[in-house]
Every structure is written in C-alpha cells, then in structure tokens.
Amino acid sequence: MVIDEAENGLHHTVHENFWRMVLGAAREGDIQVLATTHGWDCIAGFARAARECDHTDGLLLRLERTEQGCRAVVYSEEELAVAAEQRIEVR
C-alpha cells in the first residue's frame, strides 16, 4: 500500500491514531506500507504508534542528495522514538 503525503487533511492531534489504524490494517492484510510525508507531526505520530505495535517494524527513510546521486538514511523505531521525544529533526 502506498500513502502519499499521509498528513493531508488530518488534524495534527489524530496522527498517532491514524498510524495505529494503518499499522493494524497492514498487519491484518499482511501487507507493507510505504508512506511519504513532510510533516513533523505525522512523523512523531508514526514513531509513537510504531513503537507500541509489537507486530510491526517501522522505519523512517530520509533521502539525501550526495555528489554521487542519492542515498537513504535509515532510522529504526528506537532512533525515531528518541528523535520524536527530543524533537530532533529527521526530515
């Protein structure tokens, strides 16, 4: 499943519940989810929801430009949870 700009149309207070719903549906349907976002509230909500869902492996991938092209920087659930708690920029 692909969700482009996951935060569009959602109030910042519902992001965590939104991600709980998405992660639960992904588990039930045995599917992977790829979502794009630029929103910090969306990322923080995902971090909280993914951390409490034992049945998921939630990752954040940030793409960076390099002289050679592009590279992916991977944040694990634990790293993302710390970043969300400490408001460390990962976008």
pLDDT value of position 86: 87
User: For 50-75, what is each residue's pLDDT tens digit?
Assistant: 988 887 788 999 999 999 999 999 99
The sign of the torsion formed by the CA atoms of 30, 36, 40, 42 equals negative
Q: Which residue has the tokens 């400490």?
A: 86
pTM: 0.84
Q: Say if strands 60-66 and 34-35 run parallel, antiparallel, or are unpaired.
A: unpaired
For the chain, 91 residues long, give each residue's pLDDT as a single digit of tens.
Answer: 999 999 999 999 999 999 999 999 999 999 999 999 989 999 999 999 998 888 778 899 999 999 999 999 999 988 988 998 888 888 8
Q: Where are the domains of the chain?
A: 2-86
Cα 42 from chain centre: 7
pLDDT value of position 52: 87
pLDDT value of position 84: 87
